Amino acid sequence: MPDHTEADIDADFASAMRRSGVTLDADRLPGMRESYLRYLEFVRVLDEPLSYTDEPAIALHLQPTLVKA
């Protein structure tokens, strides 16, 4: 994640947790943060446009996310 510092990622993760109303035990936070990092990687791949020759006709067209990893 080239444009994000560890502090940015931690702040985004904490914000996402607050918005969703989720609270976790301290021992679960590292695993959930790792899952959040994997989610950001996945979103980055989904946000990449496909060429017309590669894109199947039935492909889902998701709106680009506001989070750029």
Reported as a single tens digit per residue, the pLDDT across 37-51 is 998 888 888 888 777
Q: Is 23 a residue whose pLDDT tops 60? A: yes
Tallying the residues shown for the chain, one arrives at 69
At 35, the pLDDT band (50, 70, 90 cuts) reads: very high
Amino acid (1-letter code) at residue 40: L
